[in-house]
């Protein structure tokens, strides 16, 4: 990145260290294709490189406190993904990845074979390059970074990057009969990868998250209907003091089952309030296990249980004058 972009990066690092997952998500978005390029240059398979890249991001979040100089974030991430990829390479089996086997039953066999032959041809062609030259040429096509940005990430001078990329391109053109550039460009990661990284990170940290299409819209919906608070990390804060993480997704298929249950002092009052607030609710029901309860949906059609609790609510909402309030501490 250029010098003007350094201050925002420093701010993202500081916020991520303090538990702001959205700040770390911006780091993932910025560096995902770069880390993928390094992982591929070690492993030689883009499917496995994606797994290694995800693991490297999770490791980097856990190790953010060890980053002494935020201006070295790129080279610090490079070292983590490189070591992680070496571990993957050692474990790598000499078998076709499961995704390839599955794809051959869906796509035409000829197309699958062509893709596999192209992949192997490209990987064999770059084997004569030393590691940073491999990383440089893959970064050039996958990350869409400038030569200067690639140099900062690889800790190389601008002239060194330019010469390595030039020699690598000449080598690939000599050894490959077909144009290799579209193959690399097709491996670029989209926003769904960033989502997968955050899902994996939140699960690894033991946090519950709610998948949504529009984070601000759903957050406003919870605040409007339930008057929830906002934590210092910008997440919803429920009565118990726990945070609800709204994970924005590119696509979302809601589960047919409720994601979580809220205990409330008066389930009838809540049902009546939500009905008048144009919230989709299902009829009130009673059974011996859950007592009186109902299901309601948020704007993304995620479902939740509202369950009657006679004593004061610890993890849910507290009603007062037909409104929903966060429990006071």
Domains of the chain: 3-194 (1.10.1740.10), 208-326 (3.10.180.10)
Q: What is the per-residue pLDDT for 127?
A: 82
Helices (H) and strands (E) in the chain, counts: 13, 10
pLDDT band at 277 (very low <50, low <70, confident <90, very high): confident
What is the average pLDDT across 184-195? 92
With tokens 């007592």, the residue in question is 291
pTM over 0.85, yes/no: no
pLDDT band at 278 (very low <50, low <70, confident <90, very high): confident
| pLDDT > 70 fraction of the chain, expressed in percent and rounded | 83
What tokens were used for 283? 């009829």
pLDDT band at 1 (very low <50, low <70, confident <90, very high): very low
User: Mean pLDDT lowest for which of 35-44, 96-105, 281-290?
Assistant: 96-105
Strand blocks (E) in the chain: 209-212, 229-230, 236-237, 243-248, 260-264, 285-287, 291-297, 303-308, 317-320, 323-326
Q: What is the per-residue pLDDT for 131?
A: 87
pLDDT at 178 over 70: no
Chain-centroid distance, C-alpha 185: 21
Within 8 A by CB and 6+ apart from 79, the residues are none
Q: Under a CB-based contact definition with an 8 Å cutoff, are residues 31 and 77 in contact?
A: yes
pLDDT band at 94 (very low <50, low <70, confident <90, very high): very low
Supply the DSSP symbol for 311: S
pLDDT at 283 over 90: yes
pLDDT at 3 over 80: no
What is the average pLDDT across 259-284? 90
Average pLDDT of the chain is 83
pLDDT at 314 over 60: no
CA distances 73 to 160, 246, 249, Å, are: 20, 26, 26
Cα–Cα distance measured from residue 162 to residue 109, given in angstroms and rounded to the nearest whole number:
39
Q: What is the per-residue pLDDT for 158?
A: 95
What is the average pLDDT across 307-324? 50
pLDDT at 95 over 50: no
Q: What is the per-residue pLDDT for 310?
A: 61
With tokens 């009603």, the residue in question is 319
Q: What is the per-residue pLDDT for 329?
A: 35
Phi, psi (rounded to 5 degrees) for 229: -90, 175
User: Mean pLDDT lowest for which of 51-65, 184-198, 233-247, 274-288?
Assistant: 233-247
Q: Under a CB-based contact definition with an 8 Å cutoff, are residues 1 and 152 in contact?
A: yes
Which residues on adjacent β-strands are paired with residue 320? 323
What is the average pLDDT across 101-119? 48
């Amino acid at each position: 990145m250029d010098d003007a972009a350094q201050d925002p990066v420093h701010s993202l690092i500081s916020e991520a260290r303090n538990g702001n997952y959205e700040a770390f998500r911006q780091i993932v978005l910025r560096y995902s294709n770069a880390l993928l390029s390094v992982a591929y240059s070690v492993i030689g398979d883009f499917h496995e490189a994606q797994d290694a890249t995800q693991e490297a991001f999770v490791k980097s979040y856990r190790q953010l406190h060890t980053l002494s100089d935020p201006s070295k974030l790129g080279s610090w991430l490079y070292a983590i993904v490189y070591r992680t990829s070496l571990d993957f390479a050692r474990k790598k089996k000499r078998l076709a990845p499961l995704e390839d086997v599955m794809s051959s039953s869906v796509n035409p066999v000829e197309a699958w074979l062509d893709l596999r032959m192209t992949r192997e041809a490209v990987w064999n062609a770059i084997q004569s390059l030393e590691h940073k030259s491999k990383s440089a040429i893959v970064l050039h096509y996958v990350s869409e970074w400038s030569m200067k940005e690639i140099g900062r990430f690889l800790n190389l001078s601008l002239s060194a990057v330019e010469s390595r990329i030039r020699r690598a391109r000449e080598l690939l053109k000599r050894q490959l009969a077909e144009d290799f550039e579209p193959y690399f460009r097709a491996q670029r990661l989209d926003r769904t990868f960033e989502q997968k990284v955050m899902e994996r990170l939140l699960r690894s940290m033991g946090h519950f998250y709610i998948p949504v299409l529009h984070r601000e819209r759903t957050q406003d919906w919870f605040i409007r209907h339930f008057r929830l608070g906002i934590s210092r990390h910008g997440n919803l804060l429920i009565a118990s003091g726990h945070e609800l993480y709204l994970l924005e997704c590119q696509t979302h298929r809601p589960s047919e089952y409720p994601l979580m249950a809220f205990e409330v002092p008066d389930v009838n009052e809540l049902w009546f309030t939500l009905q008048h607030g144009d919230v989709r609710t299902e009829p009130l029901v009673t059974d011996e296990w859950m007592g009186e309860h109902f299901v309601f949906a948020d704007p993304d059609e995620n479902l939740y249980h509202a369950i009657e609790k006679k004593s004061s609510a610890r993890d849910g909402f507290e009603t007062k004058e037909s409104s929903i309030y966060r429990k006071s501490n």
